[in-house]
Structure 1
Amino acid sequence: MSTSHEKLTATKRESSKRSEMRELRLKGRVPGVVYGPDLGSVPVHVDSKQLLAHVKRGGAEMFSLAVEGGKEVQVLIKDVQRVDGRILHADFMQVSDTKPIHVTMPIDFHGEAIGTKSGGVLQHQATELEVSGLAKNLPSSLEVDISALEIGDRVTAGDVKLPSGVTLVSSEEEIIASVIVPRVAEEDLEPTTAEEAETTDASTNNQGEEVPEVGKE
């Protein structure tokens, strides 16, 4: 797992009232909670711009969080709540050196599926997986090579190679990528206008009927 050298400073907050949290947000602060074996659960607020910088680096990044009046701890961003792109709340989880942690890890796809060169369409059914392990064993992302995928092939979570000491929490059968045959457009299968539809119906209805000769009853 990657570790950022940029420290985030948190200030304790005494209240969880909506009005006070709204006021914090207007001042450029984001309410949050830090929890872990050495801390319990501590309500805090942090600078919104500094937090956003850590969020953009990915949820699997570990960094130092200095809580006002307390000690500095290593944490992960466990969850963020957003509305219209703005972060309204964040949960920070203390990382232990001896206890496994459960995290959501982004998938980093590599290569160009060979099946796409034959007309296939590559689909990404998942962009992240849940894994568990000690922080020191967790990678920043899960690398998946899709270059060998032919039309009809797929990659499941169970196919992903994990580092030693890391276990998969997501279902092994979960499909994360596949190459499929493109669907035939509906306009190629059905008449495009009402006139064409009527012509087709008339042609079908007249099949097998005898056409009377002109002048004969």
Structure 2
Amino acid sequence: MSTVISATKRETGSRSILTQLRQEGKLPSVIYGFNVNETTPLYFEYREMAREVQRHGINNIFKIDVEGTTYNAIITDIQRDALKGTVKHFDLLSINMKEELEVDVPIAIVGDSVGVREGGVLTQPNLTLKIRVKPSDIPDTIEIDVTDLGVGDTLALADVRDKISFDVLNEDDYTVATVTPPTPQAEETDGDEANLTADDVEAVGEKLDPEKPGRED
């Protein structure tokens, strides 16, 4: 678990308040859930929160101190700037450390796929798995081995569920990975033909007549 991160209650209202906070290096947030009477608007020091996320991961349980009251919380939603990619706002869910909760955990593909070695392309349609787990047991990732996946094969959750040591809530047909055949490459255009000019046409059996329209000398 990370170190205690200080948060400050903030006012709600116009967008200008949020804009000013961001300009001052603050990160707006809200916290709700266990032992929180009502959704409470907060803000953090952007650099401090970013450092903790980089250090411990997005699925970490964060200890949040809100003006003297400490909560164990996880991040449930992140809003990013569409152009810059920076975080604009995030939601925190205060949790009871004794109760299981549902969380989305990133899938980590491992293994050298047979199909990829044969020229296929590995794709990952879904990037996370939803699991039910105690807060203290939340993993950073769930590894899925694709070594035996050939060209044209699809790996569904049903194929690997018994290899995952967590209660996975997704349906059996949830696609984890596929290997698609390689895309045929288009034939390359002859370089000389592509650069053919009017003066070169004679070489391919047709000579332009200077007296005919369309020719300017």
The residue that corresponds to 1:162 in the other structure is 164
Q: Does 1:129 align with 2:129?
A: yes
The 2-side partners of 1:74 and 1:175 are apart by 33
Alignment of 1:85-104 (within 5 A): 85-104=85-104
Normalization by structure 2: what TM-score?
0.76
Alignment of 1:195-214 (within 5 A): none
The 2-side partners of 1:102 and 1:21 are apart by 30
The residue that corresponds to 1:200 in the other structure is none
What is the CA-CA distance between 1:20 and the residue it aligns to? 1.1
Amino acid at match of 2:30: V
Identity across the alignment (%)? 27
Amino acid at match of 1:58: G
| 40-49 or 53-62, which deviates more | 53-62
The residue that corresponds to 1:81 in the other structure is 79
The residue that corresponds to 1:68 in the other structure is 67
The residue that corresponds to 1:214 in the other structure is none
Amino acid at match of 1:120: G
What is the CA-CA distance between 1:124 and the residue it aligns to? 1.8
The 2-side partners of 1:16 and 1:110 are apart by 47
Residues 125 and 175, structure 1, Cα contact 8 Å, conserved in 2: yes
Residues 72 and 97, structure 2, Cα contact 8 Å, conserved in 1: no
Deviations for 1:132-158, whole angstroms, at most 9, x for unmatched residues?
Answer: 222133322111111222223222233
Measured on the aligned residues, the alpha-carbon RMSD in Å equals: 2.4
3-state secondary structure, aligned to 2:177: strand
Q: Does 1:178 align with 2:178?
A: yes
Residues 156 and 172, structure 1, Cα contact 8 Å, conserved in 2: yes
The residue that corresponds to 2:11 in the other structure is 14
3-state secondary structure, aligned to 1:112: coil
The 1-side partners of 2:119 and 2:24 are apart by 53
Aligned residues: 187
Amino acid at match of 1:33: V
The 2-side partners of 1:86 and 1:122 are apart by 29
The 1-side partners of 2:90 and 2:184 are apart by 45
The 2-side partners of 1:28 and 1:101 are apart by 32
The 2-side partners of 1:64 and 1:105 are apart by 20
Normalization by structure 1: what TM-score?
0.76
3-state secondary structure, aligned to 1:85: coil
The 2-side partners of 1:74 and 1:162 are apart by 26
The 2-side partners of 1:132 and 1:157 are apart by 16
Q: Does 1:47 align with 2:45?
A: yes
Return closer, same or farther for 1:191/1:130 CA change in 2, 3 Å cut-off.
Answer: farther
The 1-side partners of 2:50 and 2:7 are apart by 14
Residues 7 and 64, structure 2, Cα contact 8 Å, conserved in 1: yes
The 2-side partners of 1:13 and 1:75 are apart by 18
What is the CA-CA distance between 1:107 and the residue it aligns to? 0.8
What is the CA-CA distance between 1:191 and the residue it aligns to? 11
The residue that corresponds to 1:58 in the other structure is 57
- Gapped regions of structure 2 (runs ≥ 5): 195-217
The 2-side partners of 1:135 and 1:50 are apart by 23
Residues 129 and 157, structure 1, Cα contact 8 Å, conserved in 2: no
Deviations for 1:155-213, whole angstroms, at most 9, x for unmatched residues?
Answer: 223324332xx43233321212112211223448x99989xxxxxxxxxxxxxxxxxxx
3-state secondary structure, aligned to 1:32: strand
- Gapped regions of structure 1 (runs ≥ 5): 195-217
